[in-house]
Amino acid sequence: MEYPLKINKVQIRNLQMEDYEELSQSFTRVYSDGSDVFWTRKQIAKLLRIFPEGQIVVVVDDKIVGCALSIIVDYDLVKNDHTYDKVTGHETFDTHNPNGNILYGIEVFIHPDYRGLRLGRRMYDYRKEICESLNLKAIMFGGRIPNYHKYADKMRPKEYIQKVKMKEIFDPVLTFQLSNDFHVRKVMTNYLPNDEESKHYATLLQWDNIYYTPPTQEYITPKTSVRVGLVQWQMRNYRDVDELFEQVEFFVDAVSGYKSDFILFPEYFNAPLMAGFNDKDESEAIRELSKYTLGIRDRFINLAISYNINIITGSMPYIKKDGLLYNVGFLCRRDGSYETYEKIHVTPDEIKSWGLSPGRTIRTFDTDCAKIGVQICYDVEFPELSRIMAEQGMQILFVPFLTDTQNAYSRVRVCAHARAIENECFVVIAGSVGNLPRVHNMDIQYAQSGVFTPCDFAFPTDGKRAEATPNTEMILVSDVDLDLLSELHTYGSVRNLKDRRSDLYDVKLKRSYSAEDEDEDLKQDR
């Protein structure tokens, strides 16, 4: 294709009334039956009066070569079959509703001499910016399929659309819409009665605004940037639980001072208290330690309220009413509520030395700033758990862990990073360092806590948002942007969640245990 002489400047701007003469001389819609339609001065004037920011033109070297017109309507008007005449109010635009939630495209055209320069894409991108800035749910419109008449005797519209998607057939309109991230919601009939080329069919096309926030009565808007604090805990001897909690409160105070939304403690952070039971068998000592768990939970709840921070308590041993020993932890929200999570997979050493039993509850948790999941150490090495949580909407996965050797740590770290990539979420891990010479089966610890991300353009190239210094007691504070996850789900270079072959495989819970299934003494009132 031969383009005009050298192009010096391309601009997208709002349509002005003084542009009308140039528009009326240059652009006319011509249907296959020979009839033509043009926009009157009165119609353009009304569009500019009721919705000026929705009417745009593309200007090349001071010449208008393209235009896009739109209105705002309510979703209920356009979610099912409708006609162009109906949605535009017989082209009076009385259907425009400034309180609606859909940006509806009523016209896009480019001068024939300037096609092939991706100017239409620029106008669509501008429309998307309008949709986002006005917090509208989506862009929708009816799209012609002008090449369908060539195949109408061979296939139905559904098959035609699928072949266009697979690039087996080229359609100048539909191919363009699909390449601009629109998807086909359904096929409509008689959308444009005179459109013989499309055989009176049209596609209902939609682009979803991933940043859309439904209207709410809440005064506080949901956070998109979340600050997480990790405690890389030093194992040391404590005289009693009060002394241990002096150290716990120090870290909560320090992390909350940075206005963090979450603080994560490691697995078995309270293991130093087992030193008082060192004269007992290992399995007996940890059962003595489990007697502290509910009291520690209540102290954490008080800290969460006092310091205005959501606390993920790592994990602690606990004996339920069934008489079995479990590894459990608590999400203590800053509003005073709490939830329980369990270690689902126990290591061979936990079974051999302590007689630990596996938990059974797999679920995510709502908080005031993100939907989260928690997996205790070994659990992160089983991808099925994270996939189930991802399907429940998990945005951040917290992993409290305890590892003795670098080999063990590497398993946790590498698997945690894999979970971030395959589930398109953030993963936060925190472990313990140091040693406990007076506690059997807890001799040495190795850790390097960190925050991991997916690997795409909006994230660090190596997927590491932040990492602590290995084997040193410290805190790590990092921000994660939840909006980046929304972008990744829709526009990522690869889309691991979206591209799963659910026609070939799936991951399902055999039984979903609810909070009511948890042991009653873990849910008792404080």
CA-based nearest residue to 84, from 63, 65, 105, 66? 105
Task: At 360, give phi and psi (nearest 5°).
Answer: -145, -5
Cβ pair 419, 380 in contact under 8 A: yes
Is 415 one of the catalytic residues?
Answer: no
> What's the distance, Cα to Cα, between the start and end of the chain in Å?
76
In three-state form (DSSP H/G/I as H, E/B as E, the rest C), the secondary structure along 297-350 is HHHHHHHHHHCCCEEECCEEEEECCCCCEEEEEEEECCCCCEEEEECCCCCHHH
Contact 442, 403 (CB under 8 A): no
Contact (Cβ atoms closer than 8 angstroms) between residue 400 and residue 377: yes
What does the block give as tokens for 204?
């209902």
Distances (CA, A) of 43 to 46, 65, 69: 5, 20, 11
Distances (CA, A) of 146 to 78, 157, 168, 311, 319: 22, 12, 16, 58, 69
Residue type, 55: Q
Q: Does the active-site annotation cover 132?
A: no
Catalytic residue among 131, 369, 377, 425: 377
Which runs of consecutive H residues, i.e. helices, occur in 36-190? 41-50, 75-78, 84-87, 119-133, 157-165, 174-179
Active site residue 343: yes
Give Cα separations from 73 to 33, 88, 93, 212 (angstroms): 30, 9, 10, 16
How many whole angstroms separate alpha carbon 228 and alpha carbon 207? 32
CB atoms inside a 10 Å sphere around CB 87:
21
CB 270 within 8 A of CB 244: yes
Q: Identity (one letter) of the amino acid at 325? A: L
Q: Vertex 211, ends 207 and 212: CA angle to 5°? A: 80
**Alpha-carbon span 112 to 457, nearest angstrom:** 35
Strands 432-435 and 225-235: parallel
Choose the catalytic residue: 137, 343, 415, 473: 343
User: Token match 């009939």: residue?
Assistant: 189
Tell me which of 267, 339, 342, 518 is the catalytic residue. 267
Active site residues: 267, 343, 377
